[in-house]
Amino acid sequence: MQTRWQVQSKLPPAVDEALEKFPPVLRQLLFNRGYATDEEARAFLKAKPDFDTSPWGLKDMDVVIERIIQAIDGGEKIIIYGDYDVDGITSSALLVELLRSFGADVDAYIPDRFKEGYGINIDALDGFLSQGVDLVISVDCGIRAIKEAEYARNLGLDLVITDHHHPGAVLPNALAIIDPKREDDAYAEKMLAGVGIAYKIAEALMERIGEKSSIVLVESLLDLVALGTVADLAPLEGENHRFVRHGLRIMHQAQRQGLVSLAGVSGVNIKEASAMNIGFSLGPRLNAAGRLYSALSSYDLLMEKDLHKAGEMAQELENINRERQSMTRTIQEQAELIALATDKDAFLLFAASPEFNPGVVGLAASRLADTYYRPAIVGQVKEEETVCSCRSIAEFHITDALDECAELLVKHGGHAAAAGFTIRNEYVGEFLQKMKKIAERELAEVDLHPVLVADMEVSLSDLSFEMLEHLNYLEPTGYGNPRPVFVSQDLSLKFAKTVGQDKSHLKLKVSDGKVDMDGIAFRLGHLKPDLPKRVDLLYTFEVNEWQGRKSLQLNVKDIKF
């Protein structure tokens, strides 16, 4: 698909002067990320948020902590009610580990994606009552569980909801609700992942009664926070930047056996793990179990301390992930055919089939949205209902659009870029008609070609190992704090060949007349037959290590002729 390149504006002289103590390239990168003073820049580079991060600033935190202490002291049965993605799994593991360190009677409950679906459900609440549960704490779900919260109250179950998704017009009638996106919550950091909120509870509880815990430092739980935050695509700025920076350091200590074993089967050196490793290697393997079978196996792996058991469990996840990859490719191809069959230029893409696995439809929707730069919905058609996952683009808030169709939906929820919903089959046609009108209203005047943003234009001779060290000051990078992207123009293409099992990638060598540089362009192998002698490249900059030798390499994201 044709793309648009946008190179960030050069920093103004006043900002250049304010940031004069930093290397020139780093000044531009800091300015691009919104840091225009020496104080702001240093706070960001040190991963120290410039606002009050006390957990007591979150609304209802005091109520939650008092209720948890009451449950611990009274020997009450506690359930941590999670979700089947990495954020939900890590949130559950964190709070169970924390509460057990105080001697609490606590277990995790993670619903079955296929039998129960997302979020709190009434059958589970009935089961808790029969098991003598006194307190249920949701993590990464529950903010729209109006009916379920009322049901829990009528059963006599104390329900605490902790979530990071957008609330609806009415909040559930729960004992307490911690969600920084509540309109009446003044906490400065609104973009915490579910596991970030679980960690804020850990901070508050350790502050109040930490002397009773077998955990010496609450920071030892930050490896779980880093894992869930990156995998859930929470923006890596503000408090999330601090969590992931310090969480990766905890991860490098290789203290969590399940994580060490998972890194082993993923080909990741746990002592050098990065946010990129989480996003592309560790996270997908943990997610795979919940997509195809039960997320409990991923939760159990994170809690496992035995070396041999953890190794076997990690290998099982590796096998499941390979199965997931194969299934995803098939469903992506089928979804693309269905979505484009009626109108390939539609403002919103939709594909649903009884044959689609509901655990993989979100990945198919993501690929459709990325490929065609349109909001995309992919779902599984069941006997009476269709269950869908949505992925969107920057110009279209998918959850706001679903809110406009709420009267047609059984349930829905999510955030700007991703959401899910269930709808009765008889309403699908009306829903699609309404959603397409909303998409046309919002996108008719938008240039629907992906915009690739570059930090600055450089020559190849500007690139060096020293410059790479300066770029590393920005780590961890990812969503919300992207890896620096550069553009180099009018390069001579000296060599190009397709690589990979399916020849889908492109290996190349380019020159600016002074310096030759190797590059790898993933998924751009199809351009090989048409490549001219001179090209413009948009890329990130990295070290390629092969047989002990390190060299500079361009990771090419796009090529212009």
Query: pLDDT-derived band of residue 72, with 50, 70 and 90 as boundaries?
Result: very high
Classify each residue of 337-362 as buried b or exposed e, where b means 16 or more C-beta atoms within 10 Å of its C-beta: eebeeeeeebbbbbbbeeebbbbbbb
- Bond from prior residue into 476 cis (ω within 30 degrees of 0): yes
Name all domains of the chain by residue range, CATH numbers in brackets.
Answer: 4-12+452-560 (2.40.50.460), 55-214 (3.90.1640.30), 343-443 (3.10.310.30)
Checking if the pLDDT of 476 tops 90, the result is yes
* Distance, CA of 366 to CA of 393 (rounded, Å): 10
Q: Cβ atoms within 10 A of the Cβ of 285, count?
A: 24
Among 368, 357, 378, CA closest to 288: 357
Report, as an integer, the average pLDDT of 493-511: 94
Checking if the pLDDT of 434 tops 80, the result is yes
DSSP-derived letter for residue 450 is P
**Which long-range contacts (C-beta less than 8 Å, at least 24 apart) are formed by 41-50?**
44/237, 44/241, 45/473, 45/474, 47/241, 47/242, 47/245, 47/246, 48/242, 49/188, 49/189, 49/238, 49/239, 49/241, 49/242
In Å, how far are 46, 51, 313, 470 from 42, measured between CA atoms? 6, 14, 42, 14
DSSP-derived letter for residue 105 is E
Confidence at residue 415, expressed as pLDDT on a 0 to 100 scale: 84
Query: pLDDT-derived band of residue 426, with 50, 70 and 90 as boundaries?
Result: very high
Query: pLDDT-derived band of residue 61, with 50, 70 and 90 as boundaries?
Result: very high
Confidence at residue 1, expressed as pLDDT on a 0 to 100 scale: 67
Three state DSSP letters for 175-205: CEEECCCCCCCCCCCCCCCHHHHHHHHHHHH
Confidence at residue 52, expressed as pLDDT on a 0 to 100 scale: 96
Report, as an integer, the average pLDDT of 363-377: 94
pLDDT tens digits, 305-321? 999 999 999 999 999 99
At 48, give phi and psi (nearest 5°): -120, 105
Query: pLDDT-derived band of residue 450, with 50, 70 and 90 as boundaries?
Result: confident
Report, as an integer, the average pLDDT of 24-36: 95
Checking if the pLDDT of 531 tops 70, the result is yes
DSSP-derived letter for residue 461 is G
Q: With pLDDT > 90 as the criterion, what percentage of the chain qualifies?
A: 91
Q: Do the beta carbons of residue 180 and residue 164 sit within 8 Å? A: yes
Mean pLDDT of the chain: 95
Confidence at residue 342, expressed as pLDDT on a 0 to 100 scale: 80
Q: Counting every residue, how long is the chain?
A: 561
Confidence at residue 502, expressed as pLDDT on a 0 to 100 scale: 87
| 426 contact partners, CB below 8 Å, separation of at least 6 | none
pTM, to two decimals: 0.90
Confidence at residue 413, expressed as pLDDT on a 0 to 100 scale: 87
Query: pLDDT-derived band of residue 345, with 50, 70 and 90 as boundaries?
Result: confident
Q: With pLDDT > 70 as the criterion, what percentage of the chain qualifies?
A: 100
**DSSP letter string over 423-442?**
EEGGGHHHHHHHHHHHHHHH
Angle at 122 between CA 99 and CA 142, to 5 degrees: 55
Report, as an integer, the average pLDDT of 267-289: 96
Confidence at residue 117, expressed as pLDDT on a 0 to 100 scale: 83
pLDDT tens digits, 169-212? 999 999 999 999 999 999 999 999 999 999 999 999 999 999 99
Query: pLDDT-derived band of residue 132, with 50, 70 and 90 as boundaries?
Result: very high
Outline where 347-397 has alpha helix (H).
361-372
* Distance, CA of 204 to CA of 202 (rounded, Å): 5
Report CA 147 to chain centroid distance, whole Å. 28
Residue 297's H or E segment, with its range, is helix 296-303
pLDDT tens digits, 477-497? 999 999 999 999 999 999 999
Confidence at residue 501, expressed as pLDDT on a 0 to 100 scale: 86
Confidence at residue 491, expressed as pLDDT on a 0 to 100 scale: 97
